[in-house]
Structure 1
């Protein structure tokens, strides 16, 4: 199963984003080589207009419930409206280094 592709497809289908980026960051964590356990998703969508940050996360967690219950251990979410994304100059924050990485 390719979690990265599934996550991307579900986000596109559910939120019709103007920008989506899904990155498998598992290689930076203490997991076996080739793991699909840690992801970062950046999503810019009109669906987030007028929606609180907490509610945005809840919407995405609901959309990805199957992935989160069947192997994805961590999901960093960066969810923006088009105006918020423009104010950030189209840049999502970098993920911190894993403290437990071997």
Structure 2
């Protein structure tokens, strides 16, 4: 199973109404077909009443093995369904890589 698939599977524990796991490794100075940099947009009613840092901690706990090993960077965008709807169901774009000569 790919790292991306593993992340998607583990995050199902948060009962997402929307989940997008994007492999952004190609935007960094890593070998082709790497799975080291990901962006996660996760919408769940489980985040209601929770500060952003607590949301992130829940995700980090679920992905502890991946973060201890192959995943170098994880951009998180956790929302409640109401926050997601208020945003127009969009997530921020990732910045371009600024290090290591990557594109």
Distance of 1:64 and 1:7 partners within structure 2: 7
- Alignment correspondent of 2:9: 9
- Alignment correspondent of 2:42: 43
Instruction: Find runs of 4+ consecutive structure 1 residues off by over 2 angstroms.
Output: none
TM-score (norm 1): 0.96
Question: Cα offset for 1:91?
Answer: 0.1
Q: RMSD of aligned C-alpha atoms?
A: 0.9
Distance of 1:3 and 1:51 partners within structure 2: 27
Gaps of 5+ in 2: none
Question: Cα offset for 1:70?
Answer: 1.4
Secondary structure of the structure 2 residue equivalent to 1:60: helix
Gaps of 5+ in 1: none
TM-score (norm 2): 0.95
Q: How many residues align?
A: 101
Q: How does 1:79-90 map to 2 (within 5 A)?
A: 79-90=78-89
- Alignment correspondent of 1:91: 90
Distance of 2:69 and 2:59 partners within structure 1: 16
